Amino acid sequence: MTTTSHASTKTPIIAIRNLQKSFGTNQVLTDINLDVVKGEVVCVIGPSGSGKSTMLRCINTLETPTGGSIVVDGMDMTDLDLDIDAARTRIGMVFQSFNLFAHLTVRENLTIAQTKVLRRSKAEANKVAEANLAKVGLSEKMEAKPGSLSGGQQQRVAIARALSMDPDVMLFDEPTSALDPETVGDVLQVMRNLAEAGMTMVVVTHEMEFARQVADRVVFMDGGVVVEAGPAKDVIGNPQEQRTKDFLSRVLHPGQLG
Amino acid sequence: MSVPTASEDGRQTGPAVPAATATPKAKMSKRQKAKLSRGIQYAILVVIAVLVAVFADWPTLIDSFGRIDIATGMFPDVITMALKNTVVYTFLGFALGLVIALFVALMRLSSVGVYRWLATIYIEFFRGLPALVVFLVLGFGMPVAFPGFNLPQLIIIMIALGLVSSAYMAETIRAGIQAVPKGQIEAARSLGMSSSRAMFTIVLPQAMRIILPPLTNELILLAKDSSLAYILGSSVDGRELAALGRAEIVNTANLTPFIVIALCYLIITIPLSYLSRVLERKYGSADSGVK
């Protein structure tokens, strides 16, 4: 929350311009514009169906945009000549449902893309894997199979897996939404550490407290457009738009009518 | 004891019977009824067995199907040649079928429309054809249509069995691939893997666990389908079980060889179905660990 002013001065590491996405005739994103500078943590909030996950998945083109442009680290993600696989190695992604490779151990989950995609040696890949697993506090689970871990542990391994590629940017797609309440804290703590270490992060989340404390900027999306964006204390603490106010009153005071 | 009347009355006019005599068997509980019904079923089975034993013409039966001398005369050829050939044909056909099936399954799931159509046509075509027709076309039709088409018998059998089994296996493999959660591909792609690398290192190994038991079943079916090789006629040392059985029946004018080759098929298929069950226990219910 301290670093909001440099957004305008530095060139953005993620630049989204006029992004549009439709599935058939269903227009999910109408016109998204968003810049993220290096080291910034941006939390994207909004009601379900607002297009925030789709926007995130467009950044590494897991969903192909139907219009507009996305530039990440100087790479035009919509350029058909771009080596999309190489580009994706620089964009880490964490999913709501973890998506750890179920047939591999934690060690193999953390090393397989390092050795097969980045062509690192086994020894180097293992070193990186061990360092990142320590970062998420699960060093003792190196040889475990994902199925034997709790949801929170799986998500922390998934974060370590993404970090092992040494990405420039990390995307989080509702990382705590599929977790038991008591394991949410561990995952958020890992993300907090990551933010403090200077990682550029775009986080789609429903955790308002996390957004308030960690985000440099909060983006509120609804109906496929960015309704309001700004410092967390403004967007969450003092929203200007009626739609933002309605949404926040629903999530911050669930159970109350109106 | 007046058990029969008590139970009869219990059913019809329950309240009229004095409670003391009626309670033990007045009305049969569900469990008692099930017991009685099972007893009746066993009794019927025993009666059938006894009837068969009494009325069967044992001397004729044994003379037609159970001649020990004819059975022993089939050894060791029935094992060293026929059983071996059946196993060889089955595994060759299976290996070829598996390779074709993998290609067809991947085509069926391709984003390219033409591949999907071709794969669908292939599957529908070979799944709909009787194996016998495939053998006839390959063994007799092709050499007529293409005079140069003169493959060794072993290759023709392998191709025929491969084609027949591949259509079924392609569908099995496709279903297995589709059963792997989509998030696995997304995670692999987000780490920079190409779609084919994601398929071969992430999806297929997981799909294998799902499709191994049904593939074993396909192997059993194929072992039996390999008997159709006999219609191609063959050199003496190329005979598999069915061909040897037929030849022996003609030679001996006796049906005992059928029993011997039937037992030989069971020697192959029973271990396979045991294997299938083991695999199913091992992988079938395995926690995928996803979600």
Of residues B170, B211, B212, B207, the one with CA closest to residue B185: B207
Burial class (CB in 10 A: 0-12, 13-18, 19+), A8: exposed
What's the DSSP call for residue A217? Answer: E
Question: Chain A window 105-124: which residues touch B at a Cβ cutoff of 8 Å?
Answer: 112-113, 116-118
CA–CA distance, B206 with B188 (Å, rounded to integer): 13
Interchain pair B192, A117: CB under 8 A = yes
Judged by DSSP in three states, A92 sits in strand
Taking the alpha carbons of A250, A253, A254, A256 in that order, is the dihedral positive or negative? negative
Q: Which of B186, B190, B288 sits opposite A102 (nearest CB)?
A: B288
Quick one: which H or E segment has residue A157? helix A151-163
Nearest chain B CA: its distance from A44 CA (Å): 20
A65 touches chain B (CB under 8 A): no
Q: How far apart are CA B202 and CA B204, in angstroms?
A: 6
Starting at the earlier edge strand, list the strands of the sheet with A75-76.
Answer: A26-36, A14-23, A67-72, A75-76
Closest CA to A130 of A149, A116, A119, A114: A114
pLDDT score, position B198 = 96
Size of interface A-B (CB pairs under 8 A): 82
Quick check: A74 contacting B, CB < 8 Å? Answer: no
* Chain-chain contact of B190 with A98 (C-beta, under 8 angstroms): no
d(CA A179, CA A183): 6
Q: Which range (A103-117, B153-167, B198-212, B232-246) has the least confidence?
A: B232-246
Put simply, the answer to whether B193 touches A92 (Cβ < 8 Å) is no
pLDDT grade for B12, boundaries at 50, 70 and 90 = very low
Copy the structure tokens of residue A123.
């020894």
d(CA A101, nearest CA chain B) in Å: 6
**pLDDT given for residue B232 in this prediction:** 83
CB contact under 8 A, A98 and B205: no
Question: Pick from B183, B193, B291: which is nearest to A85 by CB?
Answer: B193
Q: Does A101 touch chain B (CB under 8 A)?
A: yes
- Closest partner residue to A117 among B181, B186, B191, by Cβ? B191
Cα angle, residue B134 at apex, residues B130 and B136 outer, rounded to 5°: 110
Residues of B with CB under 8 A from a CB of A: 181, 183-184, 186-194, 197, 201-202, 205-206, 209, 286-291
Burial (0-12, 13-18, 19+ Cβ within 10 Å), B18: exposed
User: Mutate which of B190, B200, B201 to test chain A, going by most A C-beta atoms within 10 A?
Assistant: B190
SS (H, E, C) chain B: CCHHHHHHHHHHHHHHCCHHHHCCCCCCCHHHHHHHHHHHHHHHHHHHHHHHHHHCCHHHHHHHHCCHHHHHHCCCHHHHHHHHHHHHHHHHHHHHHHHHHHHHHHHHCCCCHHHHHHHHHHHHHHHHCCHHHHHHHHHHHHHHHCCCCCCCHHHHHHHHHHHHHHHHHHHHHHHHHHHCCHHHHHHHHHCCCCHHHHHHHHHHHHHHHHHHHHHHHHHHHHHHHHHHHHHHCCCHHHCCHHHHHHHHHHHHCCCHHHHHHHHHHHHHHHHHHHHHHHHHHHHHCCCCCCC
For chain B, say whether A89 makes contact (Cβ under 8 Å).
yes
Q: CB–CB of B186 and A117 under 8 A? A: no
CA distance A214 to chain B (A): 25
| Cα distances (Å, whole numbers) of residue A256 to A47, A65, A236 | 17, 38, 18
Decide if B101 contacts B166 (C-beta within 8 A): yes
Write the DSSP symbol of residue A7. Answer: G
Of B194, B202, B287, the CB nearest to A101: B202
Quickly tell me which residue has 């953005």 as its tokens. A12
Which one of B190, B201, B291 has the shortest CB-CB distance to A116? B201
Q: List chain B residues with CB under 8 Å of A112.
A: 201
- For residue A45, the number of C-alpha atoms closer than 13 Å in the C-beta half-sphere is 30
Q: What's residue A108's pLDDT?
A: 97
Length of chain A, please?
A: 258
Question: Taking 60 as the threshold, does the pLDDT of residue B108 lie above it?
Answer: yes
- B201 to chain A nearest CA, in Å? 9
Q: In which residue are the tokens 């507009």 written?
A: A68
Structure confidence by residue, pLDDT tens digits, A54-106: 999 999 999 999 999 999 999 999 999 999 999 999 999 999 999 999 999 99
The C-alpha of B200 sits at a distance from chain A's nearest C-alpha, in angstroms, of: 12
CB contact under 8 A, A93 and B181: no
CA angle B5, B6, B11 (to 5 degrees): 100
Contact B183 A112 (CB under 8 A): no
B167 to chain A, minimum CA–CA distance in Å? Answer: 27
Does the pTM surpass 0.90? The reply is no
Is residue A51 within 8 Å of A221, Cβ to Cβ?
yes
pLDDT for res A9? 57
Name B267's Cβ contacts closer than 8 Å, sequence gap at least 6: B83
- List alpha helices for A164-241, DSSP H: 181-196, 208-214, 232-235
The string of pLDDT tens digits covering residues A191-221 is 999 999 999 999 999 999 999 999 999 999 9
Cross-chain residue pair B189–A117, CB shorter than 8 Å: no
Q: In which band, very low, low, confident or very high, does the pLDDT at B23 lie, cut at 50, 70 and 90?
A: low
Residues in chain B within 8 Å Cβ distance of A60: 190
Shortest CA distance from A147: residue in chain B: B289
ipTM: 0.91
Residue B205 has its nearest CB partner, among A89, A103, A116, at A103
d(CA A191, CA B62): 80
Rounded to whole angstroms, the Cα distance separating B42 from B51 reads 14
Q: What is the mean pLDDT of residues A217-232?
A: 94
* Cβ–Cβ under 8 Å, residues A192 and A212: no
Give the model's pLDDT for residue A257.
59
- A143-190 pLDDT per residue, tens: 999 999 999 999 999 999 999 999 999 999 999 999 999 999 999 999
DSSP designation for A129: H
List pLDDT tens digits, range B163-211: 999 999 999 999 999 999 999 999 999 999 999 999 999 999 999 888 9
> Which of B189, B197, B288 is the closest to A62 by Cβ?
B189
